[in-house]
Structure 1
Amino acid sequence: MRIQIRTKVGASLKEIKKGFTEDLFLSLNPPFPPVKLKQFDGCSAGDEVILELNFLLFKQVWKSEIVEETETEVSWHFIDVGVKLPFFLKKWKHHHGVEHEESGSTIIDDITFSTGTILSDLVMYPLLYGQFLYRKPIYKKTFEKT
């Protein structure tokens, strides 16, 4: 399944790229499940991010690798792919994009995922959509025009 959320912000492409830090990453995580960041290398090809998700009765490790990064004068994109995923996910690909516009930029979260069955994909879709919709006001606040 695919989720795509676009967020317009007032900051420049350069400001957004500079702001994609460990602190931003932590602020983008919703309250549940609580996330413990075990490793954050950055947003360049070959970097890894390792999380521990706490579902109260059990914990799950999520490891992603940045497999691609592309930058032009008008856009910046990087892709993370799930290497080790929580039991309820079989595939994960998150294309992070930033596109320059006249009055700022648009941040794009473009996620493709699979749980292994269409039925469980349909159950997970609104949960994951909500998790990424949570990011919109954080992006807007973090990257408001200064």
Structure 2
Amino acid sequence: MDTYIFTYETTVDAPIEEVWSFFHTAENLVKITSFPTITLHSDPETREGNTIRMKMWIGPVKADWHSYIQEVKPHEYFVDVGVKLPFPLKSWRHTHSFVKKGDSTVMRDIVEIQSILPTSILGPALHGMFRGRADAVRRHFNRL
């Protein structure tokens, strides 16, 4: 099974300290993800060694998603690895990086994923999800 590497970059008009603080808790993942619907069932802190347990709904279908926070370097990046994934995913490794650019922050997501879905379906689905999250993050920081 091939590994698909998906990347997405978002520039946020906010200092890196504020953006990092926002992503330091998975509670905000719930706020910025409109699809699929997500609920948290564990400690939401983005800290090394923590496993964040989530339930997600895609229409009437419920699935578990557990992400292990493998590595954290404050204000630079963190890595989460899927340890319990919904069908059709086989593996998931997501590096979230944050780079200061003047008064703004560039967020870069790199997802290494294996799935039974072809990349012709997986790529557009991921792009849509991350675009929606990027829009929600920008709206959040524009309100502050």
Tell me the TM-score range normalised by the shorter chain. Answer: 0.7 to 0.9
2:41 is paired with a residue of what secondary structure?
strand
Return the offset for 1:68. Answer: 0.4
Is the counterpart of residue 49 in structure 1 residue 52 in structure 2?
yes
Is contact 1:96-1:110 (8 Å) kept? yes
Return the offset for 1:145. Answer: 8.8
Q: How many pairs align? A: 140
Q: Where in structure 1 are there 5+ consecutive unaligned residues?
A: none
Residue 141 (structure 2) aligned to one of 135, 140, 143: 143
Return the offset for 1:143. Answer: 2.8
> Equivalent residue for 1:35?
38
Q: Give the direction of change, closer, same or farther, for the CA distance of 1:76–1:39 in structure 2 (3 Å limit).
A: same
Determine the C-alpha separation between the residues in 2 that align with 1:103 and 1:121.
Answer: 36
1:136 is paired with a residue of what secondary structure?
helix
Is the counterpart of residue 104 in structure 1 residue 108 in structure 2?
no
Return the offset for 1:35. Answer: 1.8
Identity rate of aligned residues, in percent?
26
Is the counterpart of residue 113 in structure 1 residue 143 in structure 2?
no
Residue 123 (structure 1) aligned to one of 104, 121, 124: 121
> Equivalent residue for 1:84?
84
Superimposed CA distance per residue, residues 87-131 of structure 1 (whole angstroms, 9 cap, x where no aligned partner) = 200010110111011131111121111104xx6233222112211
Q: Give the direction of change, closer, same or farther, for the CA distance of 1:135–1:57 in structure 2 (3 Å limit).
A: closer
TM-score, normalization by structure 2: 0.86
Q: Where in structure 2 are there 5+ consecutive unaligned residues?
A: none
Q: What's the C-alpha RMSD, in Å, of the aligned pairs?
A: 2.0
Superimposed CA distance per residue, residues 50-69 of structure 1 (whole angstroms, 9 cap, x where no aligned partner) = 11122344321010000001
Determine the C-alpha separation between the residues in 2 that align with 1:9 and 1:56.
Answer: 31
> Equivalent residue for 1:69?
72
Determine the C-alpha separation between the residues in 2 that align with 1:143 and 1:28.
Answer: 12
- Higher mean alpha-carbon deviation, 78-87 vs 120-129, is at 120-129
